Amino acid sequence: MNRSRQKHELLVRWDDRKLDAYEGYIDTVRTSVFLAVHLYELREGLRESQQSERDVRAEVLEASHLRGRAFERILLLAGDEVIEAAHQLNAVALSIDWQANGKVSGTLEEWRDRNRAVFRAITAFHDAARQDLGVSGSVTGEQHPERDLLLPPSPRNP
């Protein structure tokens, strides 16, 4: 009975660490995406900012480093499906960084497609993480249809 209790405590402890790693990873991904959006909008003249483009670039770079560190925790703790979902998420998050920094070119619609892809990848990561942790239900499916980006209305021409 004592061994069974110790085994259960060990599993709970690892689940707690996994949950922390999953939450931390998603937080760093979302932060890096929002910073990349700020940079992109600043570069494209879609937003005014009190920060210089150079300062925002530095924040994007730092967020990218933190995202990489959080990803390493996923590789250490997660199951195969979660690791694969994290790889997919990293790939689309990088494509956002690259367009925001001007390393790849693209239209506003391609930018929005990249952002849609990253949020679909976040949802896939959530589903994989929930399954790995034994949480019932899902983020997608019939009861939870896919959502689109929340965008401001297009400016009207006078």
Q: Quick: pLDDT tens for 10-52.
A: 556 678 899 999 999 999 999 999 999 999 999 999 888 899 9
Between 7 and 2, the more confident residue is: 2
The mean pLDDT of the chain is 87
Specify the CATH architecture of the domain 2-133: Up-down Bundle (1.20)
76: CB partners within 8 A, 6+ apart: 21
**Tens digit of each residue's pLDDT (9 = 90 or more) over 83-108:** 999 999 999 999 999 999 999 999 99
Q: How many CB atoms lie within 10 A of CB 136?
A: 6
115 closest CA partner among 135, 133, 99, 134 = 99
Decide: residue 78, CB within 10 A, 0-12 exposed, 13-18 middle, 19+ buried.
Answer: buried
Q: What is the pLDDT of residues 132-155, one digit of tens each?
A: 998 887 766 665 556 666 666 655
- What global pTM score does this model have? 0.82
